[in-house]
Amino acid sequence: MTRLLAGAYVATMDDAGTELANGWVLVEDGVVSAVGDGQEPDAGERIDLAGALVTPGLVNTHHHLFQTLTRARAQEADLFTWLRELYPLWARIDAEAEYAAARTGLAELALSGCSTVFDHHYVFPRGADGLIDAEAAAARELGVRLVASRGSMDLGVSDGGLPPDDLVEEPDAILADSERLVSELHEPDPGARVSIAIAPCSPFSVTRLLMEESAALARRLGLPLHTHLAETVEEDAYCRELYGCTPVEYLTDLGWLGPDVWCAHCVHLSERDVADFASTGTGVAHCPTSNLRLGAGFAPVRRLLDSGVRVGLGVDGSASNERGDLLFDVKQALLVARGRDGATALSAREALRLGTRGGAAVLGRDDIGSLEPGKQADLAVWRTDVLELGGAEDPLAGLVLSAPHRVDRLYVGGEEVVRGGTLVRADEGEIAREHRVQARRFTG
Ligand SMILES: [Zn+2]
């Protein structure tokens, strides 16, 4: 079946940055088969978008869906204080709560135009089985693509780590469960709806052994590899004390850096760190709202881009960015870059590119992130006749600069996930009600 989305301003995010003022996108069997301007091809179904803006679906490269259960806590805390306050609450997570949290977080992201979500789950209380399976079920239900990760922590407080001892696991169990999830959930081919990444949590919650074993496992299975890195000055000091070097030097020493790796935050990078990221092909998940919320600083995005480093955007967990809205973080990335390096530091188009092509590159996906023949038909449709875009001569810059906006339509693999600003395959009110019931167990 062919479907033509027509009468739109189409921002393709291809290499040349092609934008089509009288644009259309032809979709066939879930894939973009043609994109053009003016004269339209015949199609089984024609949808008139009445002057709306069409962009690729946004790509979120760092998140912790479970944290929707614990919002607005530790409100004036830095990262380590915030973590110490929240770990005991997170120890209550089970599959039922994770499912409610994932549905809420994924619904929020879908309504912000996000079609692909990477989730970094690293809290596995003893006896709480089926957490990643619950996330995958929620993603399939809503229709959003999920890159799930079997995260991990094995360095408890009694061994010099940050998390409480009852939240850390044995390396062998972690690695075995990771392999199980890959065999049960991972779709290796282009167009994957659910895939798996390997993601030990951070240098201050994971042993050197598990960092090394995780990288070996990911490389044996051909999976992407992820961790938190260089988020705060406290983490920097911690690494210097424990390992005698900076976080990036530590990862380099472990043989971690490479084109299959991306790291979240990367706020505190030296010139040499940036060069090492560039020469090894290591990517960065830039999470501006979360970094500002925790007072961590912000990543040197202009410098990273100028050095050729892959950069995507992440909303990060909903306990350090209470809003799971990726378009809002596109705008935040622009504002933060300009606050740091001046008015020309990041254009609206560059910011949107971070949230689409950049995110796809960071996740190692060449099947999403732009609207070109052969790519997955992941499209976000944004109304341009809303109050906030009145008078905006340039629809793309208007969208970014006046964000956030609720997406009008979202297609994932050609399937409709949002229409008229409403979820098609799930009920927003029911998701919020069920989430409130589960979240009650995480208070106090
Ligand atoms: Zn994070």
Paired residues of 34 in beta bridges: 26
Q: What is the pLDDT of residue 185?
A: 98
Instruction: Say if residues 431 and 108 touch (Cβ distance below 8 Å).
Output: no
422 Cα to the center of ligand 1, angstroms: 28
Pairing status of strand 379-382 against strand 53-56: antiparallel
Assess whether pLDDT exceeds 80 at residue 444. Answer: no
Q: What is the pLDDT of residues 252-283, one digit of tens each?
A: 999 999 999 999 999 999 999 999 999 999 99
Instruction: Say if residues 401 and 67 touch (Cβ distance below 8 Å).
Output: no
Q: Is 20 helix (H, G, I), strand (E, B) or coil?
A: strand
Paired residues of 382 in beta bridges: 53
Q: What is the mean pLDDT of the chain?
A: 97
- Averaged pLDDT for residues 195-215: 97
Q: What is the pLDDT of residues 323-355, one digit of tens each?
A: 999 999 999 999 999 999 999 999 999 999 999
Paired residues of 53 in beta bridges: 9, 382
Q: What is the pLDDT of residue 174?
A: 97
pLDDT level of residue 166 (50, 70, 90 thresholds): very high
Q: What is the pLDDT of residues 58-82, one digit of tens each?
A: 999 999 999 999 999 999 999 999 9
93 Cα to the center of ligand 1, angstroms: 17
Q: What is the pLDDT of residue 1?
A: 84
314 Cα to the center of ligand 1, angstroms: 9
147 Cα to the center of ligand 1, angstroms: 15
208 Cα to the center of ligand 1, angstroms: 20
pLDDT level of residue 404 (50, 70, 90 thresholds): very high
User: Taking the CA of residue 55 as centre, how many other CA atoms within 13 Å lie in the half-sphere pointing to its CB?
Assistant: 28
116 Cα to the center of ligand 1, angstroms: 17
Q: What is the pLDDT of residue 284?
A: 98
pTM of the model: 0.98
99 C-beta neighbours (distance < 10 Å), count = 23
